[in-house]
Structure 1
Amino acid sequence: MAAKSFDMIVIGAGPGGYVAAIRGAQLGLSVAVVEREHLGGICLNWGCIPTKALLRSAEVFHLMHRAKEFGLKAEGLGYDLDAVVARSRAVAKQLSGGIGHLLKKNKVTVLMGEATLPRPGVVAVKSGAGTEEITAKNIILATGARARVLPGLEADGDLVWTYKHALTPKRMPKKLLVIGSGAIGIEFASFFNTLGAETTVVEVMDRVLPVEDAEISAFAKKQFVKQGMKILEKTTVVKLDRSPGKVVAHLQDAKGTVTADFDTVISAVGIVGNVEGLGLEALGVKIDRTHVVVDEFCRTGVPGLYAIGDIAGAPWLAHKASHEGVMVAELIAGKHAHPIKPGTIAGCTYCTPQVASVGLTEEKAKAAGYTVKVGRFPFIGNGKAIALGEPEGMVKTVFDAKTGELLGAHMVGAEVTELIQGYVIGRTLETTEEDLMHTVFPHPTLSEMMHEAVLDAYGRALHM
């Protein structure tokens, strides 16, 4: 029997792969998707979405404790961890099912199984029913990434957890150690700390949330400490001694090594691309530190083979993967595709307080040779923030002093993950300070702080 042939085959049905498949189908291509586990990938099933559901529960719990501030009464407060987790899983399941429906609606062929590339233009799909080969002139690798494992810090699901164990915890940690303070680490630290775990965060770099602007990191750290978290920067976990119900962590900083006891450890020390077992090396695909090397159009250098999303390197964000998926599908369909500008991709972290940013930090802008104008505006100066009972936060803008170009924007505080999009549009449209100053922001909203932070960069802030 001749192998089934398609215009485009996508390997992996995460936010990059399933979006690429839908866009390809919309453009009239015949499309197949191969997925080994879950439609929606890690992001939807074990990442972005279920963590946000957990964090929402923690946020509501936190607010319940503040009821008195709002003139409300709430007594006998508590939570049911199993029910919190069940809600999170239900949210993920609902959305995963929705993706199945979208692929079907767009007439995308879905094949569940393990994919390999035995020869150029051929994908072998191994499932319980055996192995079948399908062919296409264009193949998109969207296999994503997984948690990095450091020797000696391997997860066992009992005392030492990965993000997967942390999303379906069998028990509530009493003394928790989180290794790594990037988005994943700090979000889990925030969740368990809010629910009452005594939480310590260890970061090897000189500050928490190390990719963020230094001022924003410092502000966020102050809030985490206020909430009872212990933050250890410039510190490495060199060893974990495990015994029933207890982990002794050996923590090393510039002064030496100390030990501390915990009942749970969450390892969140970065990710590695899923590049193994696909047959990429034999095809001549270049791999650099577990990521496929691609050009600005996600081409691998092997004709007809593309790589998008986490497997194609930083930033490791679902929205970047989806956008690349659309771009590659349009390229394959012969449309005029635009490469993505990394400086227009926002990063969002959903801890309490939230953190969001786009473009260059003040430090990076100066290092790139810009003379900068920097504006800041605090939440305490905003009417809506005070009415919400959320006066802790800050908006920061970075402009090129010569041209007025918005180089970067950085925020910490309530709902900033929703606000950042205004500056993202500004970056995409190559907005200057003048455009932003002339924009009328509605009152009373948190977004007014975005206007004020621009005005402040030019010495024109009105409410500060």
Structure 2
Amino acid sequence: MTSNNFPTENRSYDLVVVGAGPGGFDAAVEAAEEGIKVALVEKELLGGTCLNVGCIPTKLYLGATSPVEELAAQTKARIAKGEIEIDFKALCTKKDRFIGATRKAMAQKAKKLGIDLYPATAKVIGKGKVEVSHPEETAVLEYKDLILATGSHPTVFPGLEPDNETILDNSGFLALTEMPGSLLVIGAGFIGLEMAQIAHRTGTKITVVDALDRIAVYEDPEVSKTLQGVFKRHKWNIKLGVKVKSVTAENGKAVLRTEDGEELIADKALIAVGRRPNSKDLGLEILGAETAGPGFVKVNENLEAADNVYAIGDLNGKVLLAHAASHQAGYVVRRISGKTDGPYEHGPIPSILYGSPETMRVGVMPADLEGKGEVKVSSFALVANPIAQAYAATQGFVKVVWLDGKVAGITAVGHHVSGFTTAAAMIVQENWTEKDIHKVVFPHPSLDEALLGALKAEKKDPK
């Protein structure tokens, strides 16, 4: 979105959408397809964080570098030998071209559907009115309904401010034209672990630091243990339970100091300690909307922050995932177009960590079900799966969580386990029982059979 000229003088709309990430763009498109007159406001780039400096470029990097892990696995199995050299500059070029082409396609689709695009900052100035501002132009858009999908930004704590030269956030990391010789990763969540794997595959020495007692702390403890074992075999230095006092750039290096006085030095540091909503300066207070915590916009059961004003995606803090934002967008458009009048509901929302190994989870973990009924687990080790054996990637397992005889959650860690995420989501959504296992024919040989094996395995009490 580079044009400085606003698209039209007729600035009265059925729907104004602020934010063109996955939630906002999908909302605008689905509304336009319903014949609703739509304005889409985005102050930066179409696609938001996910497309430009988040999930999409990260997965492009992980996909391109995956042969490094595959060769390493077969080499360890004494099946193959050699080396793979990643042309990182070529990969950067591919990434930039793909993202640029995707943004272009999004703009073309919006134009075809008659969506007015405003490259501007938006602020609510009254009921039914949004001011959109660009350095060269300002206008007021009138709306019947307003969707706020402004997303989130990296969390910054005092002493951990990125400069995106030596101390990086996700944007700075993905803007690198070459990987550093060594990298300090502060934060052992999904963002930090995925980016650490990218750097590792290009030969970077990795140190991961987190204040908590395990990596991927929001996943099953067995998943954390498996991941940590794999990364330690990669010779990562993983330091847990460490409170970071500061990270500074000194003499061209990143210097991390802990509260205990320890000092760690690397070529670069990546700050990946969470995200915060982009709710500042939206003007919602004029409508009586409220925020909670670090600025998440409070919404009712219909995702409304105020009358005819909806907050979706990262902004409302329910689930900070792109597919959750898109799902919420679809609901709001159906509500606006009169196709539903019930409260927002969603099924189990999948969570995936990409890389090698991958993790996948749909539904609950055993710890979530304490005191709620009879809880059992059944599991299957990937070492017994022929596809995992074929790829010499046998670390990991599939675990099924049962509540009163019905599937309440499925967790997996290992080779390409993201491939059966949708099947797992359907199984959890439908609350399968033992009898339902026989409704579907699982292909053989396939990685999916590990999921079947976990469903059929003996049920035991959780550890």
TM bin, normalised by shorter chain, reads over 0.9
Question: Do the aligned partners of 2:16 and 2:147 also contact (CA within 8 Å) in 1?
Answer: yes
Question: Do the aligned partners of 1:53 and 1:91 also contact (CA within 8 Å) in 2?
Answer: no
The answer for the alignment partner of 1:287 in structure 2 is: 291
Structure 2 residue 131 is the aligned partner of structure 1 residue 130: no
Query: Cα deviations across residues 115-141 of structure 1 (Å, max 9, x unaligned)?
Result: 111111111111244111111110000
SS in 1 for 2:92: helix
Question: Do the aligned partners of 2:153 and 2:277 also contact (CA within 8 Å) in 1?
Answer: yes
Structure 2 residue 171 is the aligned partner of structure 1 residue 164: yes
Question: Do the aligned partners of 2:160 and 2:248 also contact (CA within 8 Å) in 1?
Answer: no
Query: Cα deviations across residues 264-303 of structure 1 (Å, max 9, x unaligned)?
Result: 1100011110011211122211111211011232111x11
The answer for the alignment partner of 2:418 in structure 1 is: 417
Superposed counterparts of 1:234-245, under 5 Å: 234-245=241-252
**Whole-angstrom distance in 2 between the partners of 1:264 and 1:236:** 19
**Whole-angstrom distance in 1 between the partners of 2:220 and 2:80:** 37
The answer for the alignment partner of 1:150 in structure 2 is: 157
Per the TM alignment, residue 446 of structure 1 is displaced from its structure 2 partner at its CA by 0.3
Question: Do the aligned partners of 1:183 and 1:349 also contact (CA within 8 Å) in 2?
Answer: yes
The answer for the alignment partner of 2:3 in structure 1 is: none
**Whole-angstrom distance in 1 between the partners of 2:340 and 2:381:** 42
* Structure 2 residue corresponding to 1:297, chosen from 285, 298, 302: 302
* Range with bigger deviation, 450-459 or 315-324: 450-459
The answer for the alignment partner of 2:319 in structure 1 is: 315
Per the TM alignment, residue 2 of structure 1 is displaced from its structure 2 partner at its CA by 7.7
Query: Cα deviations across residues 335-377 of structure 1 (Å, max 9, x unaligned)?
Result: 12665556600111113211110111111122x5232110111
Question: Do the aligned partners of 1:176 and 1:265 also contact (CA within 8 Å) in 2?
Answer: yes
Question: Do the aligned partners of 1:27 and 1:330 also contact (CA within 8 Å) in 2?
Answer: no
Amino acid at match of 2:125: P
The answer for the alignment partner of 1:98 in structure 2 is: 105
SS in 2 for 1:344: coil
* Range with bigger deviation, 172-181 or 237-246: 237-246
Amino acid at match of 2:164: G
Superposed counterparts of 1:354-365, under 5 Å: 354-365=358-369
* Structure 1 residue corresponding to 2:61, chosen from 48, 54, 69: 54
SS in 2 for 1:392: coil
Change (3 A) 1:231 1:341: farther
* Range with bigger deviation, 449-458 or 100-109: 100-109
Superposed counterparts of 1:39-50, under 5 Å: 39-50=46-57
**Whole-angstrom distance in 1 between the partners of 2:187 and 2:9:** 50
Question: Do the aligned partners of 1:124 and 1:134 also contact (CA within 8 Å) in 2?
Answer: yes
The answer for the alignment partner of 2:92 in structure 1 is: 85
Structure 2 residue 449 is the aligned partner of structure 1 residue 448: yes
Question: Do the aligned partners of 1:144 and 1:273 also contact (CA within 8 Å) in 2?
Answer: yes
Superposed counterparts of 1:246-395, under 5 Å: 246-252=253-259, 256-289=260-293, 290-300=295-305, 302-336=306-340, 341=345, 344-366=348-370, 369-395=372-398
The answer for the alignment partner of 1:396 in structure 2 is: 399
* Range with bigger deviation, 187-196 or 121-130: 121-130
The number of equivalent residue pairs is: 451
What stretches of structure 1 move > 6 A for 4+ residues in a row?
A: none
Question: Do the aligned partners of 1:12 and 1:33 also contact (CA within 8 Å) in 2?
Answer: yes
Unaligned regions of 5+ residues in structure 2, if any?
1-7
**Whole-angstrom distance in 2 between the partners of 1:21 and 1:71:** 51
Change (3 A) 1:379 1:67: closer
Superposed counterparts of 1:163-202, under 5 Å: 163-202=170-209
Per the TM alignment, residue 242 of structure 1 is displaced from its structure 2 partner at its CA by 3.0
* Range with bigger deviation, 446-455 or 81-90: 81-90
Question: Do the aligned partners of 2:399 and 2:410 also contact (CA within 8 Å) in 1?
Answer: yes
Query: TM-score by structure 1 length?
Result: 0.92
Question: Do the aligned partners of 1:8 and 1:136 also contact (CA within 8 Å) in 2?
Answer: yes
**Whole-angstrom distance in 1 between the partners of 2:26 and 2:166:** 37
Query: TM-score by structure 2 length?
Result: 0.92
Query: Cα deviations across residues 395-437 of structure 1 (Å, max 9, x unaligned)?
Result: 111001x2x2211111111111221111111222333332134
**Whole-angstrom distance in 1 between the partners of 2:386 and 2:74:** 20
The answer for the alignment partner of 1:462 in structure 2 is: none
SS in 2 for 1:247: strand
Per the TM alignment, residue 393 of structure 1 is displaced from its structure 2 partner at its CA by 1.8
